[in-house]
Structures are given as structure tokens and as C-alpha cells.
Amino acid sequence: MPATLEMRPPQLVGSRQQARSLFEELIHNLHDSIVILNCSRLEVATPSFMDEVIRVVLVESLASKLVLESPTRRIADYAERSATLREVSDRLSIRS
């Protein structure tokens, strides 16, 4: 059974570096894990932040799944677009 890890980003995020910092200590331990990004308090995120989350979690770290929990529609759209472009959309799940 894969390990599950839940992360909570701050309310406002805007850079690729912020995305990398969120997973910095865990990046090598995410392989085959389910990562839940709890977005319930996340008010603003940029496309570059979400693209970096997708890249770090699904492309570099090879997590089995990234679940966005309670994202705004805009944040979900950014993540879906990035996952599609990076060909990992089958491993992205969005829960309202």
C-alpha cells in the first residue's frame, strides 16, 4: 500500500521556488506515494507555482498520485493544464 502524505501550502503562493520549498525535504521520498495538497486555505496561486508542483511531485519524484483537495476552479485549471502538458494527467485527481 502506498504511503500518503498531506501538505498544506500557505494562503498565497506565486513562485516555482515556493513549490520546491514545500516539498524540499520530502522530494526523494515521494516515489509511489499519494500526495494530497490540501488547498482549502489557498486563496491565490500562479500557473508557475502549480506547474512546479506537478513537475516536482509527479514528474521528478514519481509519486503515484497527486490529489488536490478543495482547490479553487482557477487553481484546479492550472494544475490540469500542467498535468496534461507534462503527460501525467492520469495521476492527478481533484476533489472539490
To the question of pTM greater than 0.85 for the whole model, the response is yes
Predicted local distance difference test score (pLDDT) of residue 8? 92
Phi, psi of 43 (to 5 degrees): -95, -40
Please determine, looking at this structure, whether the domain spanning 4-95 carries the CATH number 3.40.50: no
Give the pLDDT band (50/70/90) at residue 22. Answer: confident
pLDDT in tens, 30-57: 889 999 999 999 989 999 999 999 999 9
Mean pLDDT of 5-11: 90
Backbone angles phi, psi at 35, to 5 degrees: -110, 125
Q: pLDDT band at residue 23, thresholds of 50, 70 and 90?
A: confident
Q: How many CA atoms lie within 13 A of 30 on its CB side?
A: 27
Strand order in the sheet with 65-69: 4-7, 34-38, 65-69, 92-95
Q: Where are the domains of the chain?
A: 4-95
